[in-house]
Chain A
Amino acid sequence: MKLQAKDLTAGYVAGVNILNGISFDLADQEIMTVIGPNGSGKSTFLKCLMGFVPARTGTVTVSGTDCTRDAAHRRVRRHRMAFVPQLDNVFGPLSIRDNVRAGGQYMPRRERERRADELLGRYPALGDRQNARADSLSGGERQLLAVCRALMPRPDVLLLDEPSAGLSPAKVTELFDTIVDIRARENVTVLCVEQNAVQSLAVSDRGIVLVQGQVALEGAAHELLLDPQVSELYLGGLPASTPEVQSVVKGVL
């Protein structure tokens, strides 16, 4: 397993757990989506996996190595994890290229430049304007830039916190297509916390539904899309038989 959590509990206030014993496995190069209602602990879950919120009990392992007690920077450098925070995650006054390079500040200079060229060359929306300020980009392009920056050190595991937040529907589709493309090119395992359940599950292999800090449902993404309970609660009330969901499921299958 590439990323594994066992009986993870965490919280901010003494005696109150936000995560209540979460366990899951994520295989190499899988894409997993985490959905759940507001306050279910999705963001805390991601922060706990990344080491920003310490686990009270349980373990987190990456490629079989326990990293539960490691600080976030160590998870980035030693365990090859990458994290893309939600919104405001680019350095507006810096150029697009500088933003990408910021992701590899501890890489050797030549390798950093080569890697930045590679990533910027792959995405013309960024590469064609690499000397422009990052705050001149649209929401979707900023998100892509934040992901590219996270990819600089060639991570094994990529954690995304609501990457589609604030994007138009067309841009959301584009972004999720890009995530699939990144998985294929970078051989990276992706865990994505999302509100936009239909489109995120459509590009995922597996999914988790979190409720009150616990895994309420877990399974293949297409199965979750067809689950009436999930459909009712998280897919905007669309019954599984409606053409919208069916077309997505067909696409997945």
Chain B
Amino acid sequence: MLDFALYVATIAAVYALFALSLNLQAGVTGLLNFGHVAFFGVGAYSSGIVALHGGHWLLGVLVGVVVSSLLGAVIGRLGRTLAADYWAIVTLAVAECLRLVVVNEGDLTGGPQGISGIAGPFSSVSGLAGSLSWLVLCVVLAALAYLVAETLTGMQFGRVLRLLREEPMLAASLGHNITAEKTRVLAVAAPIAAVGGSVYTLYISYIGPNQLLPIETFLVFTMLIIGGIGNNRGAVFGALVIQLIYAGSRFLKDIFPIPDQSASSVRLLIVGLVLTAFLMTRPEGLFAEKLRRIDVHQ
């Protein structure tokens, strides 16, 4: 049971990275990136491919960070000519293209079977010590990502991003280059998700194309909505809540007569119900977006 709890906490920390990254884009800047899983996938497969070729795990993480940042910048530049809704569709298309490349380039990516047996930093540490080491690493990374996200959103850059979200025309009339700012936030946010993807792969020693399905992106959107879109703390708590729901739903079949093959569908159903409940009763999420407080002297 302790092992299971450690596993849930570790995966929640990994998803916190994923959610913090999306929060910078969708929550703070208003960029509806429906292909966010692509950044996670770039990190995950960078680690997998480097490991497959005998490279050090750290090299895989670094490759993921660099490639995802470049991919983020390229996707951001597409916003120069595309309206927000078309851009959102293109991001989904990019992620699906990446997944199809992964499925079809078997020599490089392991194809539909994926890459297994990937060695991580604690692969030689077994038992409770190994699980605890992973948990500490993931929590430290999530904390660092949280600090980065808080710093970015609290500074001038963050205020400009919020202005882009709320009043893009006003932002441009104040001299802000909208495309450049969007490119910048994507180039910064993408590596956070890529680190999440790398750590996930190293932790479970496997990566396959099923981890790049669009449902992963929408699951992270659910985390943001439940936690509080636009709030970094909300992103972290949203990831934790969803992972707890996922973990808790495993025990449902012990109480209700749910067939094994339906368990994952029931899990998604519960997530959907929780999401609907939040949207109807608490649309701002667990932690509403923080606005800057100022002293008021009338």
Chain A residues within 8 Å of B, Cβ to Cβ: 47, 50-52, 71-74, 76-77, 82-85, 88-89, 93-95, 98, 102-103, 105-106, 129, 131-133, 136, 149-150, 153
Residues of B within 8 A of A136 (CB): 296, 298
Residues of A within 8 A of B296 (CB): 131-133, 136
Residues of B within 8 A of A84 (CB): 173
Contact of A98 with B294 in the complex, beta carbons under 8 Å: yes
Chain B residues within 8 Å of A, Cβ to Cβ: 156, 160, 167, 169-170, 172-179, 291-292, 294-298
Residues of A within 8 A of B175 (CB): 73, 76-77, 105-106, 153
Contact of A150 with B173 in the complex, beta carbons under 8 Å: yes
> Given the complex of chains A and B, what is the CA–CA distance between A82 and B174 in angstroms?
8
Contact of B172 with A72 in the complex, beta carbons under 8 Å: yes
A-B contact list, 25 entries, CB within 8 Å? A50-B173, A51-B172, A71-B172, A71-B177, A71-B179, A73-B176, A73-B177, A73-B178, A74-B177, A76-B172, A76-B173, A76-B175, A77-B175, A85-B169, A85-B170, A89-B170, A94-B292, A94-B294, A105-B174, A129-B298, A131-B295, A132-B297, A133-B294, A136-B298, A153-B175
Contact of A93 with B169 in the complex, beta carbons under 8 Å: no
Q: Which residue of B lies closest to A50 (CB)?
A: B173
Number of A-B residue pairs having CB atoms within 8 Å of each other in the complex: 62
> Given the complex of chains A and B, what is the CA–CA distance between A149 and B163 in angstroms?
15
> Given the complex of chains A and B, what is the CA–CA distance between A82 and B295 in angstroms?
29
> Given the complex of chains A and B, what is the CA–CA distance between A88 and B179 in angstroms?
23
Residues of B within 8 A of A132 (CB): 296-298
Q: Which residue of A lies closest to B80 (CB)?
A: A71
> Given the complex of chains A and B, what is the CA–CA distance between A89 and B166 in angstroms?
11
> Given the complex of chains A and B, what is the CA–CA distance between A47 and B156 in angstroms?
27
Contact of A82 with B173 in the complex, beta carbons under 8 Å: yes
> Given the complex of chains A and B, what is the CA–CA distance between A83 and B176 in angstroms?
13
* A103/B294 contact (C-beta < 8 A), A52-B169, A85-B169 known: no
